[in-house]
Amino acid sequence: MAQITEIKNQQKLQGLALQLDKIIHGDCLDVIKILPNESIDLIVTSPPYADNRKKSYKGIPTNKYVQWFLPISYELERVLKSEGSFVLNIKERTADGERQTYVLELILEMRRQGWLWTEEYIWHKKNCYPGKWPNRFRDAWERCLHFTKQKRFKMFQQAVMVPMGSWAEKRLTKLSDTDRIRDESRSLSGFGKNVSNWLGKKYVYPTNVLHLATECSNRNHSAAFPISLPSWFIKLFTEPGDIVLDPFIGSGTTALACIELDRHYIGIELMEDYYKLALEAVDSHRRLVAAVRRSNGKHRRTPESDKQMSPRLL
C-alpha cells in the first residue's frame, strides 16, 4: 500500500514538474528530484532557520542543519543551468550566548559538492526588530549567499544601477588635476580612482550591501522577506522569460516579484497554510499588475508602474 501511494505521489509530481508559473504543495526535495536537469535560470530562497519559529514553521535542529540541507543543494545544483545562480538568504542563530557555525559549515560542504561561493551580499534591514541583549546589539543584517556552478554566469549589472546622488552636483563641479587621472590610494593598497570618470553619469553600480526594509505587513507569515529582495536578484541574474525557482516559497513573495518582472516561476511549499496563502497572494497580485499595466496603456513595465505595483521596491 505504501509503495502504491508513493508511485501515485511521484506521478502527481511529474505532472506538475514542467508546468511554469505554479506553486506546488509538497516537500521541496521530492519535487526538485522530478525537475529536469539544467532547467532553472535562478534559484532564490530563504529556507527555515535552525530551531527558529517552531510554532509557525518547523525549525531544523542546529546540529542537523547541514545534513538536512545538503541533499537539497545537491538537487538544486542538478536543475540549475550552467550559467545560472543560486541566492540563499540565511543567518546563523544565537544560542548559549554565541553565534552558531552551521551556515559557515554549510558553505564549506556546498563547495565540496561542487558549488562556487561566488559572492556574499548583505541585506541591511533598515527597520530591524528592536530589542536589548546583554552581550550584543540589534540584529540588522542577513546573509544572501551567491553560489554558481562556474566562473562565467549570467549577470546584468546595469539592471540594478542606482542614482549618483546629490553629492555629485557639488563634487564634480570643479575638478582638480588629480581628479582627472587615476589617483592611487595613499594607503598603498593598489586601489585608485579617477573622479572625472563620473562626469555625465546619472547612475552608478551599487555595492554588495542592500539597504531594504523588512516585510512589515507580514501577510500571516512569520518570516516573509520583502518583495524588493528577490526582485533585486531577479533583475541582476535573469532576463524576461527566464525561470526562477523558490523551493521554500512561503507566502509567495518570489512569485510576486516574478509576475512584476515578467519572469516565469516555480514555487514549492510544504506547509499547507502558507501554500494556500501563496496561491491567494499570486492571484491577487496578477490582477493588480494587469490593472496597473492597463491603466498605463502598455504591457511593458515602466518606472511609474513599478512604483504603483511595489512601493517597497525603492
CATH number for the domain that contains residue 76: 3.40.50.150
Q: How many domains does one find in the chain?
A: 2
103 and 145 together in one domain = yes
Count the neighbouring beta carbons within 10 Å of the beta carbon of residue 192: 10
Q: Kindly state whether residues 214 and 187 are assigned to the same domain.
A: no
Position 149, amino acid = K
Domain span at residue 46? 23-160+206-308
Sign of CA dihedral 106, 114, 111, 258: negative
Structural domain includes residue 149: yes
Q: For residue 156, is it within any domain?
A: yes
Q: Are residues 261 and 292 in the same domain?
A: yes
Q: Please indicate, yes or no, whether residues 49 and 151 belong to a single structural domain of this protein.
A: yes
The reply to whether 268 falls in a domain is yes
One domain for residues 199 and 88 = no
pLDDT in tens, the chain (314 residues): 454 455 456 545 555 556 899 999 999 999 999 999 999 999 999 999 887 555 545 678 899 999 999 999 999 999 999 999 999 999 998 888 899 999 999 999 999 999 999 999 999 998 887 777 888 888 899 999 999 999 999 999 999 999 877 766 667 677 776 767 666 666 656 666 766 666 667 888 999 999 998 865 545 544 567 999 999 999 999 999 999 999 999 999 999 999 999 999 999 999 999 999 999 999 999 999 999 988 887 545 444 444 444 333 32
170 and 130 in one domain? no
144 and 180, same structural domain? no
Q: Which three cell numbers stand for residue 268?
A: 514549492
99/143 Cα distance (integer angstroms): 14
pTM: 0.83
Residues 192 and 116 in one domain: no
Same-domain pairing of 269 and 196: no
User: For position 105, what pLDDT does the model report?
Assistant: 97
Based on the fold, state whether residues 155 and 251 are members of the same structural domain.
Answer: yes
Q: Is 83 inside a domain boundary?
A: yes
Domain contains 12: no
> Of 152, 175, 204, which residue is a domain's last?
204
154 & 166 share domain = no
Last-in-domain residue among 174, 204, 234: 204
Q: Is the residue at 13 inside a domain?
A: no
Residue with cell 541591511: 124
Asked if the structure places residue 14 within a domain, the reply is: no
Give the per-residue pLDDT at 307: 41
> Residue 17 falls within a domain, yes or no?
no
Residues 197 and 140 in one domain: no
